Amino acid sequence: MLLNIIRIRYADPPTFLDTTQVIAGYQFNRSVNGGFNAFPSGVGSYLFGGSTATLQESPTFTYQPETGQQYAENVIRPISPVVIMPLSLGGLPIDTLLRLTAQSIDGLSNVRALGAGPTGGGSVRFYLLLHDLRQLQIQGAMTIRISTDAPKPSGDQPPSGSANKPSGSQPEHAYLVLTATSDPALTTIQMEVRRLLHLDAHAEEAEIVYGPYPKVPGQIAILTRSMFAMLSQIAYEMEVPEDDVKEGRTLPTISPVGIETRPDVVIHSGKTAPEHNYDAVHYRGRWYWISDDDFRSKLSFTMMQILAALAATSHSPGAVITIPAG
């Protein structure tokens, strides 16, 4: 994944592989030998012996490049917000999650691209919204609700889905819930969130839908990204040598906007990599790495791997694990 980020930054084609087979072979060898020496002259007699044991492991991994429909579904197709938002229920920071996955929220843009100026574009209000959501998440004044019930109709708008479908076949719906609180500071933040999301001043929850703008009042529209778009965003923010920019190998690095002061994943570059790093790859004569003491970058990178697993709606034949037990 780190190598693909670097390739995208330098306009080289990334390669996405799917593990199709894992074969783990183990071999355990044991040997024991011994003897007895006796000397009739009275010099002395003694026993001697020895033993050896070896354990050998020979794993074999088989990879297959993702192509065609599998590539389109796993890499190019945006991930549904109904799949993304529940990750915040497990404690993952919602601001980091949305910075990685959201192209826009209710028209507030998170688009940052090479060549779009020193800040790469984007809306400051987008990051103010994420900051407020994170504060509410920390204090337990916001949560995500998942339901298979059809959303309540708004005015003349019919509910989505068919009422005749069995409950097991109903699609899931995600809702942003602003829980009741007696803290005036949290109440103020909730009011600001409602204002930024164009919700009613007394709304307690709103359905999360995919798209640039909500179709009906009371919805929150999130235009989500694909895995390729997420990797591209990280690539735009990574550190690259100044000589590569001057010589036209890549474009200048974009800077974060608004109240955010650092990239989602800080990727360093240099002629040598530090001994202790979270991940490092060698590319075109230079090392690129994520520091092991950078918890925020490690968390964001781990979240991207989780999202990559969630985005994989199409798979090659499952991996086979073979362990001889003779």
pLDDT at 153: 58
Alpha helices in the chain (DSSP H): 2-9, 68-71, 81-84, 94-101, 124-138, 184-196, 227-237, 242-246, 295-311
Segment 292-311, tens digit of pLDDT? 999 999 999 999 999 988 88
Check: CB of residue 1 under 8 Å from CB of residue 308: yes
Confidence of residue 124 (pLDDT cuts 50, 70, 90): confident
The answer on pLDDT for 72 being more than 90 is no
pLDDT at 163 over 50: no
Structure tokens at 308: 């990559």
Residue that wins the pLDDT comparison between 319 and 266? 266
Least confident residue range of 45-49, 93-97, 121-125, 265-269: 45-49
pLDDT tops 60 at residue 122: yes
Average pLDDT of the chain?
82
Q: What is the mean pLDDT of residues 21-30?
A: 74
Strand partners, 174: 146, 208
Please check whether residue 95 is in contact with residue 133, taking contact to mean a CB–CB distance below 8 angstroms. yes
Read off the pLDDT of each residue in 245-252 and give the average, rounded to a whole number.
90
What distance lies between CA 123 and its chain's CA centroid?
22
Q: What's the pLDDT score for residue 162? A: 40
Query: Taking 80 as the threshold, does the pLDDT of residue 75 lie above it?
Result: yes
Residue with structure tokens 């090392």?
Answer: 287
Q: CA 168 → CA 147, 150, 308, distances in Å?
A: 11, 12, 26
Region 151-179 average pLDDT: 62
Residue 98 · residue 133 · CB < 8 Å: yes
Query: Which residues, at least 6 apart from 95, have a Cβ–Cβ distance to it below 8 Å?
Result: 130, 131, 133, 134
Closest residue by Cα to residue 31 from 55, 52, 56: 52
Give the pLDDT mean for 267-281.
92
Average pLDDT over residues 150-179: 62
pTM: predicted TM-score of the whole model, two decimal places: 0.75
Most confident of 11-15, 131-135, 236-240, 254-258: 131-135
SS3 assignment, position 275: coil
